[in-house]
Homo-oligomer: A and B are copies of this chain.
């Protein structure tokens, strides 16, 4: 049997693209390879037969100012595909890593860490249903020399053969082992590398087309036959931190008199203001998460935290139900996007923990999904930590009687009535479910780098000072460390 023609492959790819879109399968394709290996030509031959509504090509160069102020993976997270799209990367998260490895900038430990981060990143997308296909284009040193010479001879392309490109060509023999390491470290069966020998461009292009078709076909078939399963989380992989604080231990009788409160508040706010200047100067990003029952006092608490702060340096991100663009992405996508610039605060009024709270309880995601989320969240927070962030997570605890008191007060105050809705009453009915989910959340995500603090919330004044003190301590500790 003869192999299919280019035309047949192109038509099959175009049909598969439409099918993936109908089935809402996000697809992530990356191209890595040596200079002049023909990535551009290959990518073009891949996208031309497809519907441009369905893909987006991202070209990865050096990070820009904005990107340098965020964790390494931030700019890739932002470009990950939604459920109706293919994201095609011309170079990817491997690029900088490889360059640093070759130049010897990367310590053994940093390399280990970086590959672990990348494996976690790819696994998270695979687990959420994204098809990931990774192409590496290989050419021999001789062929590379020949192509660079050809580019140089042409008036319109000679500017492409920069000093950098030539320097990389000279170090060809250093690149090869670094690339092999890269392939070995990240060649997981779920997200395999496809090595394309690209000496003959036409043959390489046909191989690329058929390999991609193979991967897409396999997923489409599994889904159509109902044999595709989301990766389940095995019990033993569920994280658990024995030193996690317990809701039951919160002493909700703790309270503050108004005079003491005013005095402490003034003092703490001044200290926060000074710390804000200091972390800005030292380019440390601060992430603060507020979670808590309805009417726990999150909004008022956040307001006291920010009252003396410079608005140029903080942002409050209120987290509600995702909009349709957000829904079409990985559930962590919108939180990655909001990660603060180095030197800034981002305060989340509710957060990614919605996955293991409201989404779990209301059944907005499957049990597999929310059980997997603990580890994914820990990994995301670890990424933030490795970038140098301070992470502070608050659960504001109130008791059921106090909540009722506050609901009633809202009902009676025409200025506050809008704050109370039917959902609040429905959530109240599920008080015990929330308590259970909350304790499990704390137990499974109370890491050393992003610990939880339970705020005793029955007395708002006490709660505010407790939160301010926690923020001051966490930032001060970080400032003293380096």
Interface residues of A, Cβ cutoff 8 Å to B:
11, 14-15, 18, 40, 43-44, 47-48, 51-53, 56-57, 59, 64-66, 90, 156-157, 159-160, 273-274, 277-278, 281, 299, 302-303, 306-312, 315-318, 320, 323-325, 349, 415, 418
Contact = CB atoms under 8 A, between A and B. Distances in A.
B309 A156 contact: no
A475 to B, nearest CB: 13
A49 to B, nearest CB: 8
14 contacts: A40-B310, A44-B309, A44-B310, A48-B303, A52-B316, A52-B317, A52-B318, A52-B349, A57-B311, A64-B64, A64-B66, A65-B65, A66-B66, A160-B277
A65 B324 CA distance: 30
Contact of A18 (B52, B53, B418): B418
Nearest to A15: B415
Contacts of A53: 318, 320, 349
B11 A415 contact: yes
A278 B65 CA distance: 26
A311 B156 contact: no
Nearest to A56: B315
Contacts of A47: 311
Contact of A274 (B15, B156, B315, B418): B156
Contacts of A57: 311-312, 315
Q: Which of A160, A278, A307, A316 is the most central at the interface, judged by chain B CB atoms within 10 Å of its CB?
A: A316
Contact of A307 (B43, B44, B90, B312): B44
A159 B277 contact: yes
**How many copies of this chain are found per oligomer?**
2
Contacts of A65: 64-65
A419 to B, nearest CB: 9
Contacts of A40: 310-312
Given A66-B64, A159-B281, A52 B311 contact: no
B90 A311 contact: yes
Contacts of A320: 53
Closest 9 interchain pairs by CB?
A52-B316, A53-B318, A64-B65, A156-B274, A156-B277, A40-B310, A59-B312, A43-B311, A44-B311
Contacts of A349: 52-53
Contacts of A157: 277
Nearest to A46: B311
Given A43-B311, A44-B306, A159-B281, 15 more contacts: A40-B310, A40-B311, A40-B312, A51-B299, A51-B318, A52-B317, A56-B315, A57-B311, A57-B312, A64-B64, A66-B66, A156-B277, A157-B277, A159-B277, A160-B277
Contacts of A159: 277, 281
A462 B277 CA distance: 64
Nearest to A48: B303
Contacts of A44: 306-311
A167 to B, nearest CB: 20
Q: Which of A57, A156, A281, A323 is the most central at the interface, judged by chain B CB atoms within 10 Å of its CB?
A: A156
Contacts of A156: 273-274, 277-278
A325 B326 CA distance: 10
Nearest to A319: B53
Given A66-B64, A307-B44, A312-B90, A302 B15 contact: no
Nearest to A310: B40
A368 B114 CA distance: 56
A310 B156 CA distance: 13
A56 B323 CA distance: 17
Contacts of A317: 52
Nearest to A309: B44
A303 B51 CA distance: 10
Contacts of A59: 312
Contact of A324 (B64, B316, B323): B323
Nearest to A53: B318
A324 to B, nearest CB: 6
B302 A52 contact: yes
Contacts of A325: 323-325
A53 to B, nearest CB: 4
Nearest to A314: B57
Nearest to A275: B156
A161 to B, nearest CB: 12
Given A159-B281, A415-B11, A307 B64 contact: no
Nearest to A88: B311
